[in-house]
């Protein structure tokens, strides 16, 4: 017994037996915990993907939401499921829930049970795993420049819509603003700028005095002398209502205008259908004793005969509105007016020199409406290598020099403009050379509809909802479609290097995401008679000549595309939206794949702007 008590030959086996259970617990916990950690890692990835997908589906359209919409929730659940399927790693009781936080981030919680394989011996049958995740859209500072087509066709209504295109656009811009403002985080700067464009752009109020010339020569006319008109002149003056009634012009019917192929740069549409038979009759008679006097300006004998006219019946007219013909009627019921029939015999007619006329424009702020003629440019047919020093109209960054007129803009004076050698009945041809000593009256198109000056542009600025409404209310449709001027000025007002570099630079320590949204409802539609940013194109010949290998429309489109590429060199993203029309090849090239939209109606327009709004933010995992 004494020997047995002191014998140690079996101790190792006893020690092993005693330590077997602790060793099993240590190894088993390691195996089971490894499986749990693997499941947790994968579950975290699935949770992250789920909330990212849900937050992306929400985009910026959440300013009024309190819960995650069903479609966004479904999207998030699909991504979670695809990344962590039920039963992965032998797990059980998988759950995933998401909530919309007050800051519009999406938070998620995912749980799963990992069954144990070894630790069940010790009474631990499962390891519960729980992970949390959150996704939010964060904005860098954002500058959005909207270049908006406000030409005459914007007053039309797209098929299926109840609002005109201009009103649909205004509503969409308001929705875009609400999305952007509703999703921005504290301290984020979002600024909005606007460039309404037609045949010109109204930017005068944004320019410094030294950026505009003090004198400029306009295609105009000057009196060179007089000539006698033996037949004299006869006019009707001093019309006054006496009795009866005359209605306003009342719309009778509409029909599609006829397209005239090969019409060049003039209006390709015409109204060819006959008007309804008119019953209108006009009768005039003397209404008093004539008076005679001698006049000096113009010299001659002036005879004034009081007259009275009576009108009855219905008259018709047709007017072209875009691509539609509007037939209207006016009804007369014993409509009586008095007037004077004035004859001057003999009289003198002025002789004119039609040529560039120099004018002092130093008071342009008070005299002009704000639209400008472009600075130095040349006629280009190859846009692959453009010398910007000779084509400053395409340079969106160079700041004018007061001593260099080539770098400055020229104020628009429409009353000065006469189109030589075109007469009112369209007789004659365009003449870049002056025409001297003629009594012909060449047409004055500076104030015609296609020469209009749109609402003033706006620099980038943070805006309240009320300020946005006030600005949008100022937009009215008028004028013809010249895409190049809109893109050029959109770039100038967005650039962080050019005219407004100090205002457009990023704040210290922050980045700025720059976006230009270009919206149009039509293809390029230049008119050779129009007075626009380059004067009268076939006379001034600053960007196009009648002998050019490119048409005027092609020239405008090439300059548009070149300016677009200059905007993209700023690091800006260009978006193109064709509203009620197709995006042409130049527009598609300008924007690039995924950044141009064709919206047939207001709903699709809103979808396009919503997609753009979503793309201005950075989607990221918050936790």
Q: What pTM did the predictor assign?
A: 0.70
Strands 281-286 and 291-296: unpaired
- Cβ within 8 Å of residue 170, ≥6 positions away: 472, 473, 475
Quote the pLDDT of residue 480: 93
pLDDT tens figures, 574-600: 999 999 999 999 999 999 999 999 999
- Phi and psi, residue 565, nearest 5°: -65, -35
In this structure, the number of other CB atoms found within 10 A of the CB of residue 338 comes to 15
Q: Is the dihedral of CA 166, 170, 175, 180 positive or negative?
A: positive
Q: 């966004």: which residue's tokens?
A: 72
pLDDT tens figures, 53-98: 888 887 665 545 667 888 889 999 999 999 999 888 888 999 999 9
**Tokens matching residue 249:** 């012009």
Counts of helices then strands in the chain (DSSP H, E) = 12, 25
Distances from the Cα of 281 to the Cα of 242, 284, 318, 334, angstroms: 17, 10, 19, 10
> What's the CA gap between 531 and 353, in Å, rounded?
19
Quote the pLDDT of residue 34: 79
Q: What DSSP string describes 237-254?
A: EEEEEEEEEEPPPEEEEE
Query: What residue spans define the domains of the chain?
Result: 32-136, 141-223+354-617, 231-345
- SS3 state of residue 260: coil
- Cβ within 8 Å of residue 29, ≥6 positions away: 118, 119
Quote the pLDDT of residue 561: 98
- SS3 state of residue 192: strand
Q: 């109209």: which residue's tokens?
A: 393
- Alpha-helical regions (H) of 326-479: 364-367, 465-473
> What's the CA gap between 485 and 374, in Å, rounded?
9
Quote the pLDDT of residue 264: 43
Q: Domain 141-223+354-617 falls in which CATH fold?
A: Rossmann fold (3.40.50)
> What's the CA gap between 593 and 575, in Å, rounded?
10
pLDDT < 50 positions in the chain: 18, 23-25, 63, 262-265
> What's the CA gap between 512 and 507, in Å, rounded?
8
Distances from the Cα of 87 to the Cα of 36, 91, 112, 280, 551, angstroms: 13, 5, 9, 88, 68
Q: What DSSP string describes 444-463?
A: --TTSGGG---SBPEEEE--
Quote the pLDDT of residue 380: 96
CB distance 327 to 318 below 8 Å? yes
Q: What DSSP string describes 513-562?
A: EEEEEEEESS-----TT-EETTEEHHHH-SS--TT-SS-HHHHHHHHHHH
Distances from the Cα of 434 to the Cα of 227, 352, 413, 419, 548, angstroms: 20, 11, 19, 11, 21
**C-alpha closest to that of 451 among 528, 530, 542, 369:** 530
- SS3 state of residue 486: helix
* Angle, helix 165-183 to helix 465-473, in steps of 10 degrees: 160
User: What H or E segment, with its residue span, contains residue 306?
Assistant: strand 299-321
> What's the CA gap between 317 and 156, in Å, rounded?
20
> What's the CA gap between 241 and 243, in Å, rounded?
6
Residue 530 burial (C-beta neighbours within 10 Å; 0-12, 13-18, 19+): buried
Q: Is the dihedral of CA 352, 200, 539, 409 positive or negative?
A: positive
């Amino acid at each position: 017994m004494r020997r047995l008590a002191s014998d140690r030959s079996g101790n190792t086996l006893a020690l092993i037996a005693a330590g077997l259970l602790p060793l099993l617990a240590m190894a088993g916990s390691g195996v089971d915990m490894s499986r749990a950690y693997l499941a947790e890692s994968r579950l975290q990835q699935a949770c992250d993907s789920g909330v990212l997908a849900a937050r992306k589906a929400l985009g910026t359209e959440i300013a009024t939401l309190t819960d995650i919409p069903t479609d966004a929730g479904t999207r998030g659940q699909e991504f979670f499921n695809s990344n962590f399927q039920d039963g992965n790693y032998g797990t059980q009781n998988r759950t995933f829930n998401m909530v919309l936080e007050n800051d519009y981030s999406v938070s998620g919680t995912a749980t799963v049970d990992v069954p144990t394989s070894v630790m069940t011996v010790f009474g631990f049958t499962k390891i519960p795993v729980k992970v949390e995740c959150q996704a939010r859209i964060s904005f860098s500072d954002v500058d959005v420049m909207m270049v908006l087509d406000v030409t005459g066709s914007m007053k039309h209504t797209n098929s299926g819509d109840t609002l005109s295109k201009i009103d649909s656009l205004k509503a969409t811009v308001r929705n875009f603003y609400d999305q952007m403002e509703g999703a921005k985080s504290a301290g984020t700067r979002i600024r909005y700028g606007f460039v309404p464009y037609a045949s010109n752009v109204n930017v005068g109020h944004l320019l410094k005095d030294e950026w505009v010339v003090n004198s400029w020569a306009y295609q105009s006319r000057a009196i060179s002398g007089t000539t006698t008109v033996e037949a004299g002149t006869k006019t009707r003056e001093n019309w006054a209502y006496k009795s009866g009634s005359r209605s306003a012009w009342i719309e009778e019917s509409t029909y599609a205008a006829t397209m005239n192929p090969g019409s060049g740069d003039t209006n390709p549409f015409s109204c060819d259908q006959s008007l309804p038979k008119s019953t209108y009759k006009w009768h005039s008679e003397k209404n008093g004793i004539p008076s005679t006097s001698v006049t000096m300006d113009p010299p001659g004998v002036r005879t004034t005969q009081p007259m009275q006219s009576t009108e009855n019946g219905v008259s018709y007219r047709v007017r072209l509105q875009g691509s539609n013909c509007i037939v209207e009627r006016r009804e007369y019921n014993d409509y009586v007016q008095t007037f004077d029939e004035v004859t001057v015999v003999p009289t003198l007619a002025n002789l004119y020199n039609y040529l560039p006329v120099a004018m002092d424009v130093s008071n342009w702020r008070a005299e002009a409406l704000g639209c400008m003629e472009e600075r130095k440019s040349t006629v280009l047919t190859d846009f692959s290598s453009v010398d910007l020093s000779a084509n400053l109209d395409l340079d969106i960054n160079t700041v004018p020099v007061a001593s260099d007129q080539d770098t400055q803009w020229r104020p628009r004076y429409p009353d000065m403009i006469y189109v030589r050698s075109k007469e009112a009945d369209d007789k004659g041809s365009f003449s870049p050379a002056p025409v001297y000593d003629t009594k012909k009256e060449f047409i004055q198109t500076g104030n015609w509809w296609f020469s209009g000056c749109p609402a003033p542009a706006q620099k980038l600025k943070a805006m309240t909802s009320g300020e946005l409404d006030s600005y949008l209310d100022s937009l009215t449709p008028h004028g013809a479609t010249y895409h190049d001027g809109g893109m050029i000025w959109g770039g100038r007002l967005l650039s962080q290097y050019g005219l407004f570099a100090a205002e457009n630079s990023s704040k210290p320590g922050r980045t700025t995401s720059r976006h230009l949204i270009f919206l149009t409802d039509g293809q390029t539609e230049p008119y050779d008679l129009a007075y626009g940013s380059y004067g009268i194109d076939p006379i001034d010949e600053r960007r196009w000549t009648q002998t050019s290998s490119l048409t005027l429309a092609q020239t405008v489109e090439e300059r548009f595309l070149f300016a677009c590429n200059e905007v993209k060199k700023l690091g800006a993203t260009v978006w193109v939206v064709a509203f009620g029309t197709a995006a042409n090849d130049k527009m598609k090239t300008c924007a690039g794949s995924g950044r141009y939209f064709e919206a047939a109606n207001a709903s699709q327009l809103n979808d396009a702007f919503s997609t753009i709004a979503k793309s201005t933010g950075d989607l990221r995992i918050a936790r």
